[in-house]
Amino acid sequence: MIKLTKQMKEDIRKIKEQDLIVCQECGEGDIVEKMWVNTNSYVSIDGDAYYKYSGDIDDGQYWCDTCDDMCHPLHITEYEKEKKWKKNIIKT
């Protein structure tokens, strides 16, 4: 089993903040993606199971827990760009 150090956990947290997929509507990161995983292929880290992707991913199958609806996810940088762009449109 892999042991996570404090530094590793901190690094993972930072990566997650900078590389987040968010909902296009609400900007929240509570998004789940529908995909196939191999039931017998996983590693357990700190009580969480990490599965290996298996086969094709169903395209466009995302669910936002905040909107409680299907959503179109964006990378956080794209979302911020779009938000700024929309703000500028309203101003002018």
Where does this chain touch Zn ion (CB under 5 A) — which range of 8-16, 32-40, 56-64, 72-80? 56-64
Confirm or reject binding of residue 67 to Zn ion (CB under 5 A).
yes
Nearest to 12 by CA among 38, 39, 46, 35: 46
- The residue from 10, 11, 17, 25 that contacts Zn ion (CB under 5 A) is 25
Q: Does 23 bind Zn ion (CB under 5 A)?
A: yes
Contact residues for Zn ion, defined by CB under 5 A: 23, 25-26, 64, 66-67
